[in-house]
Structure 1
Amino acid sequence: MDERHRRILQKNRVQLLKELEPSLLYDGLIAKGVFTQDMIDEIQSKSVRRDCSRQLLTDLEGRGSQAFHLFLECLREAGQNRVVDILCQRGQIPVPPIIEPLPVIIPNPTPHTWEFKDHLDRGDATIVVKGVSCSQDKTPLPIQCTEDQHLHPKPSRRVRRDSLQSYKMDSNPSGLCLIINNVNFMQESKLKSRAGSDVDSDKMKKRFEALNFKVSVKRNLKAQEIKRSVFDLAKEDHTNFDCCIVIILSHGREAKHSRFPGGIHGIDGLFVTMEALTSYFNGQNCPSLQGKPKVFFVQACGGDEKDTGFDIPADEFSSASNHHSGDDQTDAAPMITSVKELASCDEPDARTSLPNSSDILVSYSTFPGYVSWRDTSTGSWYVETLDAVLEEYAGSEDLVTMLMMVTDKVSQNSAKGIYKQMPGSFNFLRKHLFFKTSASM
């Protein structure tokens, strides 16, 4: 890469780390020969978006003289015009990008100026590039890149430039949504009541009704009642629906698994594994949802460890991070130490394998093995952030991208000024999932 382009990347690095959405660029960078698949795999192995962006920018600097201009093309194609503006501002780019085949030159009556249109097939947009060739002393002058909005208005939903399709989501309603909200636990369970969970439940009910789902809420269920409720939902006829949502708000713990970790406590203290609950929706057990997305949102602890985090440079820490000093509680249960006790909770039929687990996504409020924090008055960090992200981005972003946003925002919170939380997902979706919003109906 030319030194001047490298300096542009380094000068704007902090802002780029905030704005860049690397997941939208991977296929374009491979297609244009900027990165290899192995390099993309290495970038994707990073668990946090900012780490992915940092690795991408570092690798980009060593990818040849045309890497910068091809990177700009990928950004435009992915709709990341804000990042393009950052890199092009104040004439930082002195020459136009090399575009093949050569553009058709349209003379302009003003001396030393030019304008051309790129007639390459770029999906739904014609790119118009305007600029100045050079001054009298041959010094390159800045160019300005704009999209012809008059001919091609900006779509309301981001145009995907990769090979993945999107799930069909045009049924009315889009599907069924079940919310299980465990608040008050029986005394013999030795589990505390979950103050603030009703706030989470109300938020999720309103949010998914707004996203065109038929929502039902069940409160204070025992372990067997949780299994029966989810089993009955899977046995419904989903032929006329495009999707199914299950939201679980309860205490949780670690549990053995082969694909989906974690166990969910009923109010009686017994628990059912996520492995069992998701198995009701696999291709064999729920034929009316075959090939359709089944999504679980789980606000529960994955264990009893508390994450104290690690230090990062001050310029990389968002000013929007929250320090919770109120009544923060966890959804963790006492750790099982007895094999006999484990056998009494994890019943034989809760160890079902998942031979047909495609089109299932389970989003967890916390990393396996760690606690999940909940404010007794405002609800859990995870649900509060999920609701806010869905409200702002459901009309333009797919679910996986929005969950990365949730992870990034929640990871910046801290409980009592010390403890951290990292949501995550086990994703077996095959396509992009865009929810139906009022704007898209």
Structure 2
Amino acid sequence: MDPKHRSVLQRNRVTLVVDLKPSELYDGLLEKGIFTQDMIDEIKNSGTRRDQARQLLCDLEKRGSQAFPCFIQCLRDAGQLPLAELLLGGEAPVQPLVPTALEDIRPVLQPLPVCMYFFLWTPAIIDNNNFECSLYSPESEYRIPRPPRRTRKDSIQTYKMDASPCGHCLIINNVKFEPNADLSDRKGSNVDCDKLEKRFKSLNFIVRVKTNLRYKQIRHELCVLSKIDHSQFDCCVVIILSHGTEVNHNRFPGAVHGVDGPAVPVQFITNYLNGQHCPSLQGKPKLFFIQACGGGEKDTGFEVSPDEVEPYMGGADDQTDAMPMSSSSDSISTSDEPDARATLPTPSDILVSYSTFPGFVSWRDPLSGSWYVEILDNILEENADANDLVTMLMMVNNEVSQNSAKGLYKQMPGSFNFLRKLLYFQTQSQGQTPA
């Protein structure tokens, strides 16, 4: 796109996001060849009308020299003439930033009572001549007791998680990649898949496993899941085991590859189950577990005192879930195979747990599976009876962070947590029968 046209779009972005009606432009932009059908579908799945407008404008800047004039024509054809005129030289109306009658919004100031209280060092002995600092009133010569510390811990609610079965769990396990994808097979992923299938069945979920899905098949399965009536269930879980990559985003980082190569952004994956696209899951927890690289960078960690961690040395054949890279300065043996590329409309009630920090690789053993899944499974088995999910994920973070690949490389899982309540899974010890 011509830099001049890009500047016009960026200068008027706020007005466009507020007033643009993207749904009225899709057919015209598709007919004129500015966008493909896949691009239109991704924009539609990006969230609210404003989210779609933002995504449309972002994509438009990358669609060549004819994108701007075609966009103007589409605005005219759709009857959105004020926006077309704005982009061709008109000016957006200026809204006042503050009310003219400032008196209506000024707080009324009341004088505070004057109290002659001072912080003084007092001779109150606690242990062996250790003095404490107290609050005194010079007039009454007695100590003012501190008010009790207020806490909101008791007001934290928990999600309802007693439906039987508790909900659906979709596992997408991509192991064998097509030759033109330029991605290696993910040895050990079937071990991860088996562990998680058994684990979430034991937590009373209906588990469905899909193996070796292409880009469009991943999106199709997520669409099918979003169309299910979840009214009788309390939760929904999506687990994706695949290669991953780092992408631009405005909510959730990262993307996961289909076996044919193209990658589905995590923010699109979560959108399928948000309140707009899946009303029967509104207010219910939607959990996403992503075992994939967040990029191609390797973390060598930093030095700590010996008693800070109990190091675990990864296996000699540990691999990563990021695209094969080569470097003459890379000291890793040839057996190492890095294999990934170097809001309800808002995201409430969504938690995305990543096996690694955005931008970094995620390590996997060809025999025992990935570090993240192995430890996640163990933590759930040992702690789900007594601990909430967020607490258990911190346990996972701690244990994974102590592993080392080749005695050199580290991994740090993490979560984007938009849950509003504590989440406790059902367990068999609580009298639930697995689905």
Shorter chain as denominator, the TM-score bin is: 0.5 to 0.7
Given candidates 183, 198, 211, the residue that maps to 1:191 is: 183
1:182, 1:220 within 8 Å by CA — same for their partners in 2? yes
- Letter aligned with residue 361 of structure 1: L
Aligned to 2:20: none
SS at match of 1:162: helix
The list of structure 1 runs, each at least 4 consecutive aligned residues, that deviate by more than 2 angstroms after superposition, is 353-356
Given candidates 230, 235, 238, the residue that maps to 2:227 is: 235
Deviations 1:51-106 (A, max 9, x none): xxxxxxxxxxxxx99xxx9xxxxxxxxxxxxxxxxxxxxxx9xxxxxxxxxxxxxx
Aligned to 1:395: 385
Aligned to 1:383: 373
CA distance in 2, matches of 1:261, 1:194: 22
- Letter aligned with residue 249 of structure 1: L
Alignment of 1:168 with 2:149, yes or no, is no
1:316 to partner: Cα distance: 1.5
- Letter aligned with residue 320 of structure 2: T
Relative to structure 1, is the Cα distance of residues 413 and 220 closer, same or farther in structure 2, using a 3 angstrom cutoff? Answer: same
SS at match of 1:312: coil
Aligned to 1:82: none
Deviations 1:328-372 (A, max 9, x none): 11100269xxxxxxxxxxxxxxxxx77321100000000000000
Aligned to 1:268: 260
Aligned to 1:323: 313
CA distance in 1, matches of 2:322, 2:363: 9
CA distance in 2, matches of 1:303, 1:224: 22
1:284, 1:356 within 8 Å by CA — same for their partners in 2? no
Deviations 1:150-187 (A, max 9, x none): xxxxxxxxxx9432100000100000000000000000
What 5-or-longer segments of structure 2 have no aligned partner? 1-120, 128-151, 326-342
CA distance in 2, matches of 1:310, 1:356: 36
1:234 to partner: Cα distance: 1.2
CA distance in 1, matches of 2:392, 2:217: 31
2:282, 2:344 within 8 Å by CA — same for their partners in 1? no
Alignment of 1:28-107 (within 5 A): none
RMSD: 2.5
1:299, 1:382 within 8 Å by CA — same for their partners in 2? yes
CA distance in 2, matches of 1:325, 1:206: 24
CA distance in 2, matches of 1:213, 1:312: 41
CA distance in 2, matches of 1:300, 1:246: 14
1:288 to partner: Cα distance: 0.2
1:437 to partner: Cα distance: 0.4
Given candidates 379, 403, 406, the residue that maps to 1:413 is: 403
1:183, 1:250 within 8 Å by CA — same for their partners in 2? yes
Alignment of 1:280 with 2:264, yes or no, is no
Alignment of 1:303 with 2:295, yes or no, is yes
Aligned to 1:294: 286
CA distance in 1, matches of 2:366, 2:344: 36
Aligned to 1:207: 199
CA distance in 2, matches of 1:310, 1:251: 26
- Letter aligned with residue 289 of structure 2: F
- Pick the structure with greater CA Rg: 2
SS at match of 1:410: helix
SS at match of 2:222: helix
CA distance in 2, matches of 1:304, 1:161: 40
1:256 to partner: Cα distance: 1.1
CA distance in 1, matches of 2:382, 2:153: 22
1:259, 1:354 within 8 Å by CA — same for their partners in 2? no
2:240, 2:291 within 8 Å by CA — same for their partners in 1? yes
TM-score, normalising length from structure 2?
0.60
Deviations 1:32-57 (A, max 9, x none): xxxxxxxxxxxxxxxxxxxxxxxxxx
- Letter aligned with residue 345 of structure 2: P
SS at match of 2:206: strand
CA distance in 2, matches of 1:250, 1:404: 23
Aligned to 2:306: 314
SS at match of 1:404: helix
Q: Which deviates more from structure 2 when the two are superposed, residues 197-206 or residues 256-265?
A: 256-265
Aligned to 2:359: 369
What 5-or-longer segments of structure 1 have no aligned partner? 1-63, 70-91, 93-159, 336-352
SS at match of 2:307: helix
1:231, 1:277 within 8 Å by CA — same for their partners in 2? no
> Aligned pair count?
272
Aligned to 1:357: 347
Given candidates 227, 243, 250, the residue that maps to 1:251 is: 243
2:401, 2:412 within 8 Å by CA — same for their partners in 1? yes
1:190, 1:269 within 8 Å by CA — same for their partners in 2? yes
Alignment of 1:427 with 2:421, yes or no, is no
SS at match of 1:295: strand
- Letter aligned with residue 356 of structure 2: T
SS at match of 2:429: coil
